[in-house]
Amino acid sequence: MLPETSNRRSRSVLLPLCVLGAGVVSFLWRPASRVYHIAAILLDAYLLAFLVRKKVTTKKIPEADIDTGSLPFFTLVVPCKNESGVICKTLQKLCFGLKYPVDSYRILVLDDHSTDGSFDRIHHWIRDTLRPLPVCQAIARPQHDIGGGKSGALNAALKYIFYEREQDVIISPKKRHIIGFLDADAQCDPRLLAALAAVFLSEDALVLQVLKKPIRWGSRSLLEDCQVADYMADWFVSSQRQIRRAGCASLRGNGMFFDEAVILHVADGRSALRGFFFNDQTTGDDVDMTCRLKIAGLKIHYIDDTYVMEELAPSWKALFQQRARWVYGGYRRYTDYLESLPCLWWNDPDELVEFCVLLAPIFLLPQFILSFWFNGNRAVWFHLAFLLVWGLGLMCQACASLRLALLGLIFSLHRIFFIYWTVVLCIWKPSECLPYWKTTRRVDMERGTP
């Protein structure tokens, strides 16, 4: 079910007003204050239990037997927009670096109106590369199909696959068909598909997210360390959820895989030309998709036995532009699916915890202001101190050193500023979809700079 977009402004106003109002009422009205403190204590206890749980990785997954005929067939979709500097290197690794039968997967590159000659470079590489190779196809998004950002590009690739299925031209049609999505700069573990095949066959998974690792350039700078700490914290949270059979917290865009029956579902009775699972009216296509899957009652599996790697932001400006999009997408899903939030929380209680943590700065803001007028109530400071100590504990569990943990905690505070900025932007421009900013490092690579 796609969210309604006609009343986005009213939703964008209603949600923060409700959270702010709850903060004021819970401070001024004694019965509400008691309920708030009980709920806060329960939340603190839950977070503490989550933190002190033994940190172990997910169970090692045996590699699939590549000699059997039961292996699923993978279609790897690689969206490409002005990626001439990296796309051929990515194709080289996908075609020659994966330890999986070449007749059991293919690569589908979708060019999203590139202006730097990416489409021609892909065609030349496919033509000039020696065989044997997995099937590697390059298709261009139709000129009349514009808008929607990355979601629109992914939907264009899915339309192509859908028409193939309708015309019975998909390779190996008798096998289970898995559709995966990789970034144009992705670097994959050689045994990625073999490990995924084992999970899809043994656990009957429908949706799966792979561990993401950062590509470090060897500088060991403060900028890189902050991002690495953030990646490690995300891995720790996702692996802990998987241990408890709760599944992945959220899809991450790069390294997400779907059973064909899920991703090619046409919702709301719309035609095959529209209405695929991706929402092209939002900024965070991955978190939006996560929300829709969980509302539908589907579990997102997670494995850290294999991985995909992606580039780090090369500058502080690029980093904060990236994180602004992430926070904006994470908040926007709550306004878009406001009526379905109880169903989301019922199917995955951890989503309620994430909602409380994300919107805590909005809830606590009036309590901070009122605490200066009413000197007798300082409970808000206790809850803030607990969240900071808990955040440091999480970082210490996830990171390899105390320095990295402290950097990760300090860096994570940027979300407080961005959540206020996001609320204002959603009210001011309710239909705004933030653009994707290309990082400086990849621009340099395209220009030939090492």
The pTM of the full predicted model, rounded to 2 decimals, is 0.84
Q: What average pLDDT does range 25-34 have in this prediction?
A: 86
3-state DSSP of the chain: CCCCCCCHHHHHHHHHHHHHHHHHHHHHCHHHHHHHHHHHHHHHHHHHHHHHCCCCCCCCCCCCCCCCCCCCEEEEEEEECCCCCCHHHHHHHHHHCCCCCHHHEEEEEEECCCCCCHHHHHHHHHHHCCCCCCEEEEEECCCCCCCCHHHHHHHHHHHHHHHHHHCCCCCCCCCCEEEEECCCCCEECCCHHHHHHHHHHHCCCCEEEEEEEEECCCCCCHHHHHHHHHHHHHHHHHHHHHHCCCCCCCCCCCCEEEEHHHHCCCHHHCCCCCCCCCCCCCCCHHHHHHHHHHHCCCCEEEEEEEEEEEECCCCHHHHHHHHHHHHHHHHHHHHHCHHHHHHHHHHCHHHHHHHHHHHHHHHHHHHHHHHHHCCCCCHHHHHHHHHHHHHHHHHHHHCCCHHHHHHHHHHHCHHHHHHHHHHHHHHHCCCCCCCCCCCHHHHHHHCCCC
Tell me the per-residue pLDDT of 282-326, one tens digit each, with 9 for 90 and over. 777 888 888 888 888 888 888 888 899 988 888 888 888 888 888
Query: Confidence class of residue 443 from pLDDT cuts 50, 70 and 90?
Result: very low
Domain ranges of the chain: 8-57+339-441, 73-316
Which of 30-39, 242-251, 276-285, 410-419 is least confident?
Answer: 242-251
Tell me the per-residue pLDDT of 64-106, one tens digit each, with 9 for 90 and over. 444 456 789 999 999 888 887 788 888 888 888 888 988 889 9
Query: Confidence class of residue 57 from pLDDT cuts 50, 70 and 90?
Result: very low
- Domain at 73-316, CATH class: alpha beta
